[in-house]
Each structure stands twice: as structure tokens, then as C-alpha cells.
């Protein structure tokens, strides 16, 4: 199967409300669901203390109610969770669960306290007659001090069915207590993907032992977590450790979709081989509550190549060993970092946490097909010194070398050398492979401003590679 043509196939989509009402009414006649006449009830038993009785059903979801489920009640009108005076969120466990697990009653005694950052105290609230409420099913985080920080987290999945269902979150629509609105329904926040996996290397089928699988998209649409109360989506890659190489189960959500996008699957096996696969994302993104299936075919793309890395700043040698994500995290010695990278480097990147000088030599090529770029100095100035021509390719990211919110300077060891960078064409900020405070859309973006004292820097015209990436050649030479 051509990977470019692999499509996610919808298995079942969320029912329309009309269809669901019909099914629910039929089920009620069989004694499976609460009566549609039952509505959520709340009664104040003492000042600020309320008894709640909330009939609820799952709306055609792959999860069922269990007595161990943790369901939280949120007062959206007053922006407060049900909790005690110490801020511990009140948990409602399903009771009177129906035979098929799709219906239950949520009962308990609740109070609502709202935290003030100004006074650092919690105030007991009185529920208003028209207050609107929301129920959250097994959220990964509930923050009673700052409710908007509460979230559904997707980043620590393992790829198994049990893991996917453990990360399957649901919530109710907004409702009022003591109002004739009928039984409360839970809806899926995200989608469920099930896929069979196969791998090819050199045209032949292989069965690798995977150590890592990353899931992202070309335009960064995959949700890392969703704010449970606001619905705000934070996107990033999802990384699975030691996943199965034959089948995959994931809960997935996407952020806003302004353009066609596709998922990027990148697998690493125990022998250091990378395999890539691509799956189109449905127009408009994954539909909440939907289930999809797919056959995902991975093709061999590259093997890890470890560069020669040395340091001359007296810093810790253990920093020169990459972590589980194949990242060299270099910490400073005496506030400074000085390292040298020689030869080819495939699949590794460098994160620098201090004022840094990095020498690139050996006529190497660095290839980093993930988000984040090859060299990243976080909030510190970065000097890149060329001891040979050097090429950096980051086809899935907007820049290859970054001095985030700091200065980037280019120089050489004495000769004239070229730094060739290939990355995504950045139509928003026009980064041209390099990002720094002195080289951005907010500055004059003159490549001459990248030159260290005593050197010149010139930039070739952009080469559009026709695949969404561009190539830029920076020539660095001693000044006359």
C-alpha cells in the first residue's frame, strides 16, 4: 500500500442527538438506562453543602462505567470544582451501574470552594438557581486552585488497547440542576485509533523490535493534552516506549485544522534503524467520539549515526552520552559550554543550557527528522564555528539551529566554509533555517548580522525542494 494514500477509515461516528434519544428510549424500555424523565437533582442540606443525584449515560463510547471511575463536578458559572476546604477535589463514583455499564447514578455530598490568589484563601460558594455544571470523566489532572489548568493528557500512552482506554476521556454537556433536562450524557473528548502495523526494509518485509515510536503531524496538530474546562488544545508529539510492532491503539485529538495535514509515525528499532509512515488526517481533524482503523506500512528511512562529540570546557563527560530520546543535553561548566561535533550525525540533536560555542567539523551531515531542530541553545547566546563545510537537515521542523531569545553568531577556524541547512519553509516567520533574536522577522533579518567579529556571512537564494522544505546556504568567511 502506498503510504501517501493510506487513509484513516471511520469505524463508527458519534450518533446525532436524535438517533441517540431514540436508542436511549428503546434501552430504557429494556431497563438498561435511567428513565429519560430523570434529571439531575441538587438539595442544600446545610449552608454550602449539597446532596446531588445525577443519572448519567455513556453515548456509544468504548468505555463503560465502573465503580472505580473518578468523576468530578464543575460549576462553570462560578468557575469552581466541588472540593473540600483544603482544596481536595470531590470524587463522584458511579453507583447503580446498569447491566451493560452504559448507565449509572452519581450521588454524593458536595461543596464548592473558590480559591483566591490575592488572599490565598478559599471561599465557600452558594450555588445559584441557574448555575451551569459540567461533569468530567477520569481527567488526568484536576486543579481546584486554577480550574482552567485541569487537563486530559495523551503523552504517556504505550500503544496497547488497555493504555488507549485508560486515556479515553469523556465529559458531559453543560446542564442545570433541578431542571427538566433529562439524563446527563457523556461524550468522548477524543478519537480512538486502532491500526495493524507492518515494516519494510529494502523492499522486504521485516519484523523489528521497537524501542520507540513517535507520533506527530506535519503541521503539529496532534494533541499532547487538552484543557478540560476550556477545551484549549496543546499540541506536540506523543512518544511510545517499547511498543508492539504488529498493532497499535491510541487515543488521539487534533488542534484547529486550517489546512490538510497528515500524521507522521517514526519508529526506532533495537538495532538503531528508523522507519517512517504517513497517514492522512481526516478533513477538519479527528472527530470527538469517533473510532478509526488503519493499516500502517512503515518503510526504512535511516539508521542512527553517532558523531564524535568532545568538550573543552571541563564539563561533565556524562553529558556526552545521549538520553533515551537521542538528545545530548549539555550543561555548562563555569557558566559556559564548548563542544565540538565531527562527522555525520543522524537521529541525534543537542540541547545547550548555557552560553555555548559549538564547532562543527569533519565535513559532516547532521540529519534530524524530528521536531526541535539539531542545535538549540535555550535562552543563551550561541557561537557556531565552522571547521569544514557542514550540512544540517531538519525536514520536519522550521529551523535547524536556534539561539532562543538570544544571539547567534557564525565564524570559522580560519577558512571559508559553507553551512547548508534544509528545513520546512516558514511562511509565518521566514526563519531560513536559523532562529535567533538577532536574526528573525522582528529584526532586520540581514545575514550579515550573524557574522562574528572579523567574519562575513552571505546567504544564497532559497531553494524550494518541492516537498515543503527549503535549502539555504550560509557562506562564512574571514573579513578582508
Question: Tens of pLDDT along 370-387?
Answer: 888 999 998 899 999 999
**Cα 67-70-76 angle, rounded to 5 deg:** 135
Last residue of a domain, one of 303, 327, 349: 303
Give one word for 298, left, alpha or beta, with left for phi > 0 and alpha for psi -120 to 50.
Answer: beta
Is the domain of 350 the same as that of 461?
Answer: yes
Q: Containing H/E element for 341?
A: strand 336-342
Please, are residues 182 and 176 in contact by the beta-carbon 8 Å criterion? no
What is the model's pLDDT at position 25? 29
Tell me the backbone φ, ψ of residue 160, rounded to 5 degrees.
Answer: -90, 165
**Rounded CA gap, 395 and 420, in Å?**
13
Model confidence pLDDT, tens digit, residues 96-134? 999 999 999 999 999 999 999 999 999 999 999 999 999
Coil, helix or strand at residue 285: coil
pTM (two decimals): 0.81
Tell which residue, 231, 235, 147, has the closest CA to residue 189: 231
Per the structure, the complete domain to which residue 292 belongs is given by: 3-8+190-303
- pLDDT band of residue 220 (cuts 50, 70, 90) is confident
Question: Which residue has better confidence, 162 or 221?
Answer: 162
Residue 238: CATH number of its domain: 2.60.40
Nearest to 231 by CA among 165, 133, 148: 148
Q: Based on the domain organization, do 217 and 284 belong to the same domain?
A: yes
What is the band of 6 on the pLDDT scale with cuts at 50, 70, 90? very low
pLDDT in tens, 429-464: 778 999 998 887 655 578 999 999 999 999 999 999
- What is the predicted pLDDT for the residue at 444? 58
Number of domains the chain contains: 3
Which element (helix H / strand E) includes 17?
A: helix 17-29
> In the listed set 153, 187, 221, which residue is the last one of a domain according to the structure?
187
The set of cell numbers assigned to 355 is 552560553
Is residue 256 very low, low, confident or very high in pLDDT (cuts 50, 70, 90)?
confident
Do 78 and 122 sit in the same domain of this protein? yes
Helix, strand counts (H, E) of the chain = 2, 41
The 10s digit of each residue's pLDDT in 19-62 is 222 223 233 333 334 454 589 999 999 999 999 999 999 978 99
**Grid coordinates of 402:** 536556534
CA–CA separation, 118 and 116 (whole Å)? 5
Length of the chain: 480
Q: Do both 271 and 152 map to the same domain?
A: no
Please choose, from the candidates 193, 416, 168, 368, the residue with its C-alpha nearest in 3D space to the C-alpha of residue 286.
193
Q: Give 158-199 pLDDT, tens digit per residue.
A: 999 999 999 999 999 999 999 888 899 999 999 999 999 999
Query: Are residues 283 and 327 part of one domain?
Result: no
Of 303, 324, 344, which closes a domain? 303
- Residue 22's pLDDT is what? 27
Tell me, yes or no, whether 350 and 462 share the same domain. yes
Q: d(Cα 403, Cα 396) in Å, to the nearest integer?
A: 18
Percentage of the chain lying above the pLDDT 70 cut:
91
Q: What is the mean pLDDT of the chain?
A: 89
Q: How confident is the model at residue 409, as a pLDDT?
A: 97
Rounded-to-integer distance, Cα 474 and Cα 459, Å: 5
pLDDT at 363 over 60: yes
Is the per-residue pLDDT at 299 higher than 60? yes
Same domain as 157, residue 112: yes
Both 79 and 210 in a single domain? no
Three cell numbers written together for 384: 557556531
Amino acid at each position: 500500500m502506498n503510504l501517501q494514500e493510506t487513509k484513516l477509515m471511520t469505524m463508527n461516528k458519534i450518533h446525532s442527538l436524535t438517533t441517540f434519544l431514540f436508542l436511549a428510549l428503546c434501552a430504557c424500555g429494556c431497563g438498561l438506562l435511567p428513565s429519560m424523565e430523570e434529571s439531575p437533582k441538587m438539595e442544600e442540606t446545610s449552608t454550602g453543602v449539597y446532596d446531588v443525584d445525577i443519572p448519567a449515560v455513556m453515548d456509544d463510547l468504548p468505555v463503560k462505567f465502573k465503580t472505580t471511575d473518578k468523576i468530578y463536578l464543575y460549576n462553570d458559572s462560578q468557575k469552581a470544582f466541588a472540593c473540600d476546604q483544603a482544596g481536595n477535589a470531590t470524587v463522584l463514583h458511579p453507583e447503580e451501574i446498569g447491566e451493560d455499564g452504559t448507565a449509572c447514578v452519581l450521588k454524593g455530598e458536595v461543596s464548592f470552594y473558590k480559591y483566591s490568589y490575592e488572599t490565598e484563601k478559599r471561599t465557600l460558594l452558594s450555588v445559584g438557581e441557574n448555575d451551569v455544571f459540567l461533569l468530567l470523566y477520569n481527567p488526568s489532572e484536576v486543579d481546584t486552585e486554577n480550574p482552567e489548568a485541569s487537563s486530559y493528557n495523551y503523552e504517556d500512552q504505550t500503544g496497547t488497547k488497555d493504555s488507549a482506554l485508560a486515556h479515553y476521556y469523556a465529559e458531559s454537556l453543560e446542564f442545570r440542576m433541578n431542571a427538566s433536562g433529562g439524563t446527563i450524557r457523556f461524550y468522548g473528548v477524543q478519537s480512538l485509533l486502532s491500526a495493524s502495523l507492518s515494516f519494510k526494509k529494502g523492499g522486504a518485509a521485516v519484523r523489528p523490535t521497537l524501542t520507540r515510536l513517535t507520533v506527530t503531524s506535519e503541521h503539529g496538530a496532534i494533541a499532547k493534552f487538552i484543557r478540560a474546562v476550556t477545551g484549549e488544545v496543546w499540541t506536540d508529539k506523543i512518544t511510545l516506549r517499547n511498543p508492539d510492532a504488529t498493532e497499535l491503539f491510541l487515543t488521539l485529538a487534533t488542534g484547529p485544522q486550517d489546512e490538510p495535514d497528515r500524521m507522521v509515525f517514526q519508529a526506532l528499532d533495537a538495532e538503531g534503524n528508523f522507519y517512517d509512515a504517513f497517514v492522512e488526517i481526516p478533513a477538519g481533524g479527528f472527530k470527538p467520539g469517533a473510532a478509526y482503523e488503519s493499516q500502517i506500512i512503515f518503510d526504512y528511512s535511516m539508521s542512527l549515526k553517532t558523531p564524535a562529540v568532545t568538550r573543552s570546557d571541563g564539563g561533565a563527560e556524562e553529558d556526552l552520552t545521549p538520553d533515551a530520546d537521542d538528545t545530548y543535553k549539555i550543561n555548562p561548566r563555569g557558566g559556559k559550554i564548548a563542544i565540538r561535533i565531527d562527522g555525520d550525525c543522524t537521529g541525534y540533536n543537542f540541547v545547550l543550557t548555557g552560553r555555548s560555542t559549538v564547532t562543527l567539523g569533519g565535513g559532516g551531515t547532521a540529519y534530524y527528522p524530528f521536531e526541535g531542530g539539531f542545535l538549540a541553545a535555550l535562552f543563551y547566546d550561541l557561537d557556531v564555528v565552522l571547521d569544514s563545510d557542514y550540512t544540517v537537515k531538519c525536514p520536519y521542523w522550521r529551523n535547524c539551529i536556534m539561539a532562543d531569545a538570544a544571539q547567534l553568531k557564525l565564524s570559522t577556524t580560519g577558512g571559508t566554509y559553507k553551512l547548508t541547512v534544509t528545513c520546512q519553509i516558514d511562511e509565518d516567520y521566514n526563519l531560513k533555517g536559523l532562529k535567533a533574536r538577532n536574526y528573525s522577522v522582528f529584526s532586520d533579518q540581514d545575514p550579515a548580522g550573524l557574522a562574528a567579529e572579523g567574519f562575513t556571512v552571505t546567504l544564497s537564494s532559497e531553494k524550494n525542494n518541492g516537498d515543503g522544505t527549503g535549502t539555504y546556504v550560509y557562506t562564512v568567511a574571514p573579513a578582508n
